Amino acid sequence: MKEHDMKDYDKQFNLRKRHPFGRVQMLGNEISSIFTRLKLSNSRNLSYGDTAGQKLDIFPSTKSDSPVFIFIHGGYFRALDKRQYSFLARPLVKAGYTVVLLNYDLVPHVSVAQIIEQNIRALNWIFQNINQFNGDPRQLFLSGHSVGATLVAKLLEHNWSQDMKSSFQGAIMLSGLYDLSTLRQSYLNESLSLSASDVKLMSPVNNKLIASIPLLIAVGGSETDEFIRQSKTYSEKLTKEGYENQFMILERQNHYEVITAMGQPNNVLIKFLSK
């Protein structure tokens, strides 16, 4: 790849430089998350695996057999933590969902392939245990932001049992990356260490889903061209393959504002879930 192309991808993915107030937004979300944990009943740092990163937080619904909303954070596979997203639980619990926030081990302690395997393990744990937290394992809704959306796509490609496959009721992918070759051609690959074969195997654009469920693929209108392109291209790919999906551009929202907006009552996410 030519040097100027490499630099262009660096600009596309260096979101802190592009959105300097993003850190302020994230801090606001963390403060809101602290208040959410104080206000709502929750069980934190439940282990679904045997390493430090394989933990999840659950905010149970007040009613038994409630639908389950599962959220996977982003951070380019190398940063962020579920506790920064507790604020998402408030409107969802109010709407009648049991909410699960996932953590996973981060690069460089594990590879991206291992992160995918950890998320598969987490979903199995949820399916087997969520009834203890007023959740209905037959009503699972998956969601993720940034590479969390990438991980949602990978979960929907996995060869699940029929019982598990039929439990998926919908998925929301926010500001995702579905062609990992662009990450490989950026500064991020210094830590991700993605090979050409990794990219071919793990990029959702190269694979098919195992179930046809309602999908929302959304991206902020103020995000970088590459984030918008990847969401649009992935949506078009799914449509051609016969998978029901809704593509949405969230006007005047950048990568940070997209997720912050999901913590508001009656947000786009809740409206999609209630259809």
> What count of other Cβ atoms lies within 10 Å of the Cβ of residue 109?
12
Q: How far is residue 149's CA from residue 155's CA, in Å, rounded to a whole number? A: 10
In tens, the pLDDT along 143-202 reads 999 999 999 999 999 999 999 999 999 999 999 999 999 999 999 999 999 999 999 999
Comparing 19 with 245, the larger pLDDT belongs to: 245
- pLDDT at 136 > cutoff 50: yes
In tens, the pLDDT along 24-76 reads 899 999 999 999 999 999 999 999 999 999 999 999 999 999 999 999 999 99
| pLDDT (0 to 100) of residue 266 | 82
Q: How far is residue 270's CA from residue 116's CA, in Å, rounded to a whole number? A: 26
* Domains of the chain, residue spans: 3-145+155-273
In tens, the pLDDT along 213-266 reads 999 999 999 999 999 999 999 999 999 999 999 999 999 999 999 999 999 998
| pLDDT (0 to 100) of residue 1 | 39
Selection from 115, 102, 81 nearest residue 192 by Cα: 115
| pLDDT (0 to 100) of residue 6 | 59
Question: The pTM is what?
Answer: 0.96
Domain 3-145+155-273, CATH: 3.40.50.1820
- Block residue for tokens 């990978």: 154
- pLDDT at 79 > cutoff 50: yes
| pLDDT (0 to 100) of residue 2 | 41
Selection from 138, 78, 144, 132 nearest residue 109 by Cα: 78
| pLDDT (0 to 100) of residue 211 | 85
pLDDT band, very low/low/confident/very high, at 7 (cuts 50, 70, 90): low
pLDDT band, very low/low/confident/very high, at 17 (cuts 50, 70, 90): confident
